[in-house]
């Protein structure tokens, strides 16, 4: 029945040709603008409103969700490609524009940000109830979503940079929302600075590409790729590598992964939206937007090897770190890093559809899992699984939805994660047989092993959280409906979301995503590789079975239940491969120690000395000007004139008595003097 429905849908919705999208596409600039405008409205008027600004934040996401889904439906019937722009300024021959692009990739992101954002914003109303900075939270949260929409709507690299940095700013504000706790503030700074270091690569890449092509528009850049521009080909490797470094920072790829687990310091709704639809998906989106650039053998194809290597390290090594976390949100955070590794590997393997399809499905089940984690934390007042256990009975809806999300993440048939992860495995397998060589073959087995690890650590999370005896001090209870309804909605999408792209049966997502002016040239599966799909499924089931064997048993405490350890490996995992320690020794301590002392000495004895010298010279000049020129010069002249005028006035005043006889005498005396003068001189 399901197969028949999907086949029927494929006959109806497969796009036949590309159109410009009409009015919907022409006014798509409203998608990023509305959240940004309402963000300012929340700041200025939020506290005066009945729901303290939440209603404006919710309205912004409702608008984006409706608009994004409307574009998605239109794109499913007729592929849409539209690009609009407004000129902001000119710098020489370069035009700075505010633009908006409407095509398969951006439409998918509009829908994901809108739908997941609407669920998370609804949930946040209940979760953040009573928070001392409730209105400010929703202002920053709306900025977060709006900044991501600025990024994905960008028609040029300059605007993408603006959205990129706005996302970073909003994440800093939200991760550090509870800034009274120093660790939260430190986590926000760590996330901000780690991304800034990677952003240097992005800026360099943007400059190289924009200057070489003579335009920052994505359309012009990809047209140059299609035309085989020789100048761009000469700098393509370094430009592609620099852009990828920027993507590594936002999507937390090794070794820039260190910021994402610490970002769990922010409120759980922030974690949900960040891991599902904003921030961390930006790097994968950039690779998707620039996909023809990386795919072309003439341009940055050599960078693909590095993309695959970094992605494969991330997907496996970061997944292992989830095994030793007690904080439930950190388990999910390392899981996100691992899944981003899968998406990155897919992009490197030339699988545009597979990588973005996993981004699409992952948004639903990872957003769901974080909401469920927040529901648990809301009930037991702790992030740690050692304070949980036995919650499936007092929190039935949270348990059921968390289980659905976990099975989807583990890639269990027929949930959404099965279809997207299977397509990535199939794409890596294809790459191994068509030029990928030994590296792709090794990466395929790493990806399969990663599926086992994913299922294993999610089994651990489920059993330690919902089975056994409750170990906490609070009285657990199910969350209110404003929180459970969004969880149920995302659980439904986590179950059925994968059916939009079933190779050989219905490949709607593939067709929708391909609606772009230039062909992507990617490989996507035409039919299900049953042997590979069965392998991936069996490995995931084996991970669940192993997790059940280890963590299902009862014990006096959670720590006794969680006593499973692999010698040598687990101590390494508990120290997070010593990467954070390496950063501390190589960067943080030197900056705090010798570098800080040098900067302080330079400030005190060089900069301050120069400033003080200028101050002393200025003070001396002021004394000369004041004492010599002003007091003895200008003031003397002015005072002398004023004194003379005053004396003359005093003398003149004495002659003005008002007595007529004196005036007559003075007149007579003057007449006599006048006559005498005339007689003498004439």
Domain identity same for 24 and 157? yes
Is residue 681 assigned to a domain? no
CB 292 within 8 A of CB 225: yes
Q: Categorize the per-residue pLDDT at 19 as very low, low, confident or very high, splitting at 50, 70 and 90.
A: confident
In sequence order, what are the residues at sequence separation of 6 or more whose Cβ sits closer than 8 angstroms to the Cβ of residue 597?
none
Domain identity same for 384 and 239? yes
Higher pLDDT, 428 or 622: 428
Is residue 678 assigned to a domain? no
Give 3-state DSSP helix, strand, coil % of the chain, rounded to 5: 75, 5, 20
3-state secondary structure of 290: coil
- pTM listed for this prediction: 0.85
Is residue 679 assigned to a domain? no
Domain identity same for 594 and 535? no
The Cβ of residue 77 has, within 10 Å, a number of other Cβ atoms equal to 14
Tens digits of residue pLDDT in 46-103: 999 999 999 999 999 999 999 999 999 999 988 899 999 888 888 777 778 889 999 9
Q: What is the average per-residue pLDDT within 388-409?
A: 94
Q: What sign results for the dihedral spanned by CA atoms 398, 401, 404, 406?
A: negative
Domain identity same for 597 and 526? no
Domain identity same for 483 and 504? yes
Is residue 225 assigned to a domain? yes
Quick one: pLDDT at residue 8?
Answer: 33
Is residue 682 assigned to a domain? no
High-pLDDT (> 70) share of the chain, %: 96
Domain identity same for 492 and 516? yes
Is residue 674 assigned to a domain? no
CA distance 548 to 552: 5
Domain identity same for 444 and 587? no
Tally of domains within the chain:
2
Tens digits of residue pLDDT in 276-312: 988 899 999 999 999 999 988 778 878 988 999 999 9
Mean pLDDT rounded to a whole number for the chain: 88
Query: Which residue is listed with tokens 């990023």?
Result: 32
Cα distances (angstroms) measured from residue 395 to each of 23, 399, 465 = 46, 6, 11
Domain identity same for 603 and 544? no
> Per residue in 49-75, is it b (16+ CB within 10 Å) or e — as a string?
eeebbbbbbbbbbbbbbebbeebbebb
CA distance 240 to 659: 103
Q: Which two tokens stand for residue 63?
A: 């608008």
**Range(s) of the domain holding residue 333:** 2-574
Is residue 367 assigned to a domain? yes
Is residue 680 assigned to a domain? no
Lowest average pLDDT, out of 7-16, 342-351, 652-661, goes to 7-16
Quick one: pLDDT at residue 10?
Answer: 38
Which of the 8 DSSP states describes residue 656? -
Out of 547, 574, 601, pick the residue that ends a domain.
574
Domain identity same for 470 and 585? no
CA distance 652 to 155: 83
Q: What is the average per-residue pLDDT within 143-149?
A: 95
Higher pLDDT, 116 or 586: 116
Cα distances (angstroms) measured from residue 566 to each of 384, 397, 563 = 21, 34, 10
Out of 551, 574, 597, pick the residue that ends a domain.
574
Out of 554, 574, 594, pick the residue that ends a domain.
574
Quick one: pLDDT at residue 157?
Answer: 94
Domain identity same for 492 and 593? no
Domain identity same for 586 and 488? no
Tens digits of residue pLDDT in 317-374: 999 999 999 999 999 999 999 999 999 999 998 899 999 999 999 999 999 999 999 9
Domain identity same for 503 and 620? no
Q: Choose from 116-130, 503-517, 626-640 the range with maximum mean pLDDT.
A: 116-130
Task: Please state whether 254 falls in left (phi above 0), alpha (psi between -120 and 50) or beta.
Answer: beta
Q: Categorize the per-residue pLDDT at 592 as very low, low, confident or very high, splitting at 50, 70 and 90.
A: low
């Amino acid at each position: 029945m399901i197969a028949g429905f999907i086949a029927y849908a494929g006959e109806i919705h497969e796009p036949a040709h590309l159109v410009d999208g009409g009015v919907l596409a022409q006014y798509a600039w409203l998608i990023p603008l509305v959240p940004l405008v309402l963000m300012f409205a929340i700041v200025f008027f939020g506290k005066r409103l009945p729901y303290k600004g939440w209603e404006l934040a919710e309205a912004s996401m409702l608008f984006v969700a409706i608009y994004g889904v409307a574009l998605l439906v239109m794109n499913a019937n007729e592929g849409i490609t539209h690009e609009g722009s407004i000129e902001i300024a000119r710098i020489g021959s370069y035009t700075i524009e505010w633009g908006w692009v409407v095509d398969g990739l951006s439409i998918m992101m509009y829908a994901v940000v809108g739908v997941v954002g609407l669920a998370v914003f609804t949930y946040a109303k209940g979760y953040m109830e009573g928070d001392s900075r409730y209105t400010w939270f929703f202002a920053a949260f709306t900025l977060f979503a709006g900044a991501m929409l600025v990024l994905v709507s960008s028609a040029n690299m300059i605007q993408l940079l603006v959205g990129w940095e706005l996302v970073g700013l909003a994440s800093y504000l939200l991760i550090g929302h509870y800034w009274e706790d120093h660790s939260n503030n430190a986590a926000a700074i760590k996330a901000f600075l780690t991304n800034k270091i990677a952003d240097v690569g992005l800026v360099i890449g943007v400059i190289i590409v924009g200057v070489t092509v003579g335009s920052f528009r994505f359309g012009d850049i990809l047209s140059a790729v299609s035309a085989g521009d020789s100048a761009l080909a000469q700098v393509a490797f370094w430009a592609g590598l620099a852009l990828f470094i920027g993507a590594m920072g936002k999507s937390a790829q090794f070794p820039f992964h260190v910021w994402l687990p610490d970002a769990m310091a922010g409120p759980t709704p922030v974690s949900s939206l960040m891991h599902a639809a904003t921030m961390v998906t930006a790097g994968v989106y950039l690779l998707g937007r620039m996909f023809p650039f990386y795919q072309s053998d003439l341009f940055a194809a050599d960078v693909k090897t590095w993309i695959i290597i970094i992605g494969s390290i991330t997907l496996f090594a970061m997944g292992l770190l989830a095994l030793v976390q007690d904080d439930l949100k950190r388990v999910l955070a390392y899981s996100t890093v691992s899944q981003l590794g899968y998406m990155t590997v897919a992009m490197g393997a030339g699988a545009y559809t597979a990588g973005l399809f996993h981004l699409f499905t992952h948004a639903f089940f990872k957003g769901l899992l974080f909401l469920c984690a927040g529901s648990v934390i809301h009930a037991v007042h702790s992030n740690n699984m050692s304070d949980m256990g036995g919650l499936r009975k007092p929190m039935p809806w949270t348990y059921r939805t968390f289980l659905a999300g976990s099975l989807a993440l583990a890639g269990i048939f027929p949930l959404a994660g099965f279809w997207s992860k299977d397509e990535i495995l199939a794409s890596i397998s294809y790459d191994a047989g068509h030029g990928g060589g030994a590296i792709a073959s090794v990466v395929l087995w790493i990806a399969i092993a990663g599926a086992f690890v994913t299922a294993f650590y999610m089994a651990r999370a489920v059993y330690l959280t919902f089975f056994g005896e409750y170990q906490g001090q609070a009285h657990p209870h199910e969350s209110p409906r404003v929180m459970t309804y969004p969880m149920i909605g995302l659980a439904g999408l986590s179950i059925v979301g994968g059916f939009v792209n079933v190779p050989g049966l219905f490949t709607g997502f593939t067709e929708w995503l391909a609606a772009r002016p230039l062909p992507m040239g990617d490989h996507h599966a035409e039919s299900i590789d049953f042997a590979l799909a069965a392998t991936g499924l069996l490995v995931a089931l084996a991970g669940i079975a192993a997790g059940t064997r280890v963590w299902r048993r009862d014990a006096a405490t959670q720590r006794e239940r969680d006593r499973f350890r692999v010698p040598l490996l687990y101590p390494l995992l508990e120290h997070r491969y010593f990467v954070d320690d390496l950063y501390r020794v190589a960067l943080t301590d030197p900056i705090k120690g010798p570098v800080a002392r040098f900067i302080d000495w330079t400030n005190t004895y060089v900069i301050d000395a120069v400033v003080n010298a200028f101050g002393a010279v200025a003070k001396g000049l002021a004394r000369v000007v004041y004492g010599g020129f002003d007091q003895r010069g200008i003031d003397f002249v002015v005072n002398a004139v004023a004194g003379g005028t005053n004396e003359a006035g005093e003398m003149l005043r004495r002659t003005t008595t008002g007595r007529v006889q004196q005036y007559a005498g003075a007149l007579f005396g003057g007449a006599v003097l006048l006559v005498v003068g005339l007689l003498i001189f004439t």
